[in-house]
Amino acid sequence: MSGCRFTAAKTVAEAVDSLVAAKGDGHIIAGGVALVILMNEKLLQPSWLIDISRIDELKGITVGADRTIRIGAAVTHREVARSSEIAAVYPMLTEMASEIACGRIMNRGTIGGNICLADPQGDPPVAMLALDATFRIAGPGGKREVPARSFFEDLYVTALGEDELLSDIHIPAPVTNTGTAFGKFAARKAMDYSSTISTAVSLVRDPNGGGIAEIGLGLGGCGVTPVWPEKTEAVLRGRKPDDETFAVMRATLADEIEPIGDSLYSADYKRRVAGIILTRTVKMAYQRTEGASQ
Amino acid sequence: MSVDITLTINGQRRALTVEPTDTLVSILRDRLGMTGTHKDCCMGICGSCTVLVNDRPVSSCLLLAAQIDGDAVRTVESLESKGSLSPLQEAFLTFGAVQCGYCTPGFLMTATSLLEETPSPSRDEIVEALKGNLCRCTGYKKIIEAVESVANA
């Protein structure tokens, strides 16, 4: 006997009630592709598992007539990757979800689970930072909203309270002349986990003069959390995407981020790689804006 | 606490009482004696334990049996029918795509799912579909060729 309780929640309210009753000892499980690793490694022996993978309220992708996007927290990476509606609005999200781990993980792993895990190498958080998404969170007092840009607090620590869960993700619509792209550097094409660098870019091209009017960035593998590099964003605003701009961007980025060195790559190496991948991703996003010369 | 679930495993309905923390691979191997599904890294990295749940490949080492009540599971044991191997299994033998055999059930189930969804995949699509499965005898070329031969048959 494991002595573990199990609740197959049918509604968000039931999941929240279980979290409250568990008094901080409840663990939300959706796809399980991260949580069960911890269990297999004996790093976690849960006393109460609350399964949210079959809650209808947490399912579904909705793209509004105004092109805003709502993604339920229990939507799988596969569903995001295969959504033609999402691809039509933000190709970056399709690129991001298509390169997560591999098919059998994409079939179970959820976007909400990945965001709440808050792994510094996770890809969905990086995209959410660049797109300035808002997370809707359910708790005993009802729902509240937290911007992605203030959600990731420390290594595996988020703004979620112990009796709260992420219910859905809201992504604002792109304005005219927006281009997005996702970049990734990994030693192994599939399943790389420890040493990836990822870069998400959403930018708006100024139709008069062709400079970068507005830009949102997100970075993976560049710190203890998914990183929103405000200073690097600031130096790109109002500039043309030329070699000089990218040199300034890379210098600012190298100062702003603090990657963690590991058995494969040192922190300094990751700094350099992040600059190179970000340069490529910004160029790609710019090329995708309407009217950009190829 | 125990959880009562029903799974359809290779077409056969099974009523099971499981612990919430039991993974599908442990139920298959240790409870039901179905050792065709191999257990290796237990971190979702290697692909050895790949089975199909509702026709889609998943890592059975990271899937809690309690979470899939009512679902249909297919393992490598389902590929053989009436004592005959499936065309994909035959192709693995013909092309020498099996060395130590540890990774083989995972590759077979991943490729089975690919061929059901995309009957004539390109070589690139085969490589993409198999990218999450590791073979440490490094027989990838022969594995890809075996799948390709069935795809073009």
pLDDT digits (tens, 9 = 90+) for A156-190: 999 999 999 999 999 999 999 999 999 999 876 66
Minimal-distance CA residue of chain A relative to B67? A51
Q: Are A83 and A70 in contact (CB under 8 A)?
A: no
- Give B67's contacts in chain A (Cβ within 8 Å): 8, 29, 32, 51, 53
The alpha-carbon gap from A100 to the nearest alpha carbon of chain B, in Å, equals: 10
Q: Do A32 and B129 touch (CB under 8 A)?
A: no
- Give B66's contacts in chain A (Cβ within 8 Å): 6, 8, 49, 51
Q: What is the pLDDT of residues A118-130, one digit of tens each?
A: 999 999 999 999 9
Q: CATH: 3.40.50.1220, 3.30.390.50, 3.30.360.10, 3.40.50.12780. Which one for A178-287?
A: 3.30.390.50
Q: Which domains does chain B have, with CATH numbers?
A: 3-78 (3.10.20.30), 87-151 (1.10.150.120)
The reported pLDDT for the residue numbered A293 is: 54
The reported pLDDT for the residue numbered A192 is: 65
For residue A227, which phi and psi values (nearest 5 degrees)?
Answer: -110, 135
The reported pLDDT for the residue numbered A186 is: 84
Gap between the Cα atoms of A288 and B10, Å rounded: 47
The reported pLDDT for the residue numbered B65 is: 98
Question: Which of B61, B62, B131 is nearest residue A190 as measured by Cβ atoms?
Answer: B131
- Give A110's contacts in chain B (Cβ within 8 Å): none
CB under 8 A, 24+ apart: contacts of A6-10: A6/A48, A6/A49, A6/A51, A6/B1, A6/B3, A6/B20, A6/B66, A7/A48, A7/A49, A7/A50, A7/A51, A8/A51, A8/A54, A8/B66, A8/B67, A8/B69, A9/A50, A9/A51, A9/A52, A9/A54, A9/A55, A10/A54, A10/A55
Question: Which of A1, A4, A37 is nearest residue B44 as measured by Cβ atoms?
Answer: A37
Domains of chain A, by residue range, sit at: 5-51, 56-171, 178-287
Q: Do B110 and A103 touch (CB under 8 A)?
A: yes
The alpha-carbon gap from A37 to the nearest alpha carbon of chain B, in Å, equals: 5
CA angle B141, B144, B145 (to 5 degrees): 85
- Using the Cβ of A38 and the Cβ atoms of chain B, whether some distance falls under 8 Å is answered with no
Residues of chain B scoring pLDDT < 50 = none
- Give A78's contacts in chain B (Cβ within 8 Å): 56
Tokens, residue A217: 């960035």
Residues of chain A scoring pLDDT < 50 = 294
Domain A56-171, classified CATH 3.90.25.10, yes or no: no
pTM over 0.90: yes
Domain A5-51, classified CATH 3.30.43.10, yes or no: yes
The reported pLDDT for the residue numbered A119 is: 95
Question: Which of B21, B57, B132 is nearest residue A191 as measured by Cβ atoms?
Answer: B132
